[in-house]
């Protein structure tokens, strides 16, 4: 299941200003990988990262949105990368 997405209690008092997220399609699930960091400080000590499994792309998107909300990261500071075999086949129409 991975090491889970970062939580405020696990991170402590550090402040993050940016979120990078990647959703990767696997054979029967979606892997969500995230990295939170402070745009001013580019050091491993000023970042947090995690990975989680989602059953659907919608659930994966909700995980990322929840994380952005939890850490008050504005949309303009979120980078999202989606890797899918066939994007049209895997969306709800």
How many helices and strands (H and E) does the chain possess?
2, 4
**Is the residue at 92 inside a domain?**
no
Q: What is the mean pLDDT of the chain?
A: 83
Predicted structure pTM score = 0.75
**Domain membership of residue 36 as a residue range:** 8-85
If we measure between CA atoms, which residue out of 73, 15, 79 comes closest to residue 47? 15
CB atoms within 10 A of CB 3: 9
CA distances from 26 to 7, 17, 47 (A): 25, 29, 26
Q: CATH number for the domain including 51?
A: 3.30.160
pLDDT value, residue 43: 72
% of the chain at pLDDT higher than 90 = 57
Q: pLDDT tens digits, residue range 53-71?
A: 999 999 999 999 999 999 9
Which two three-digit tokens encode residue 58? 């919608």
Count: domains in the chain: 1
């Amino acid at each position: 299941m991975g090491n889970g997405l970062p939580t405020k209690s696990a991170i402590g008092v550090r402040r993050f200003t940016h979120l990078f997220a990647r959703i990767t399609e696997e054979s029967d699930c979606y892997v969500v990988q995230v990295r939170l960091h402070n745009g001013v400080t580019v050091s491993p000590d000023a970042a947090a990262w995690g990975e989680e499994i989602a059953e659907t792309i919608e659930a994966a998107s909700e995980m990322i949105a929840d994380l952005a909300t939890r850490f008050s990261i504005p949309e303009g500071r979120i980078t999202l990368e989606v890797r899918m075999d066939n994007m049209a086949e895997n969306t709800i129409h």
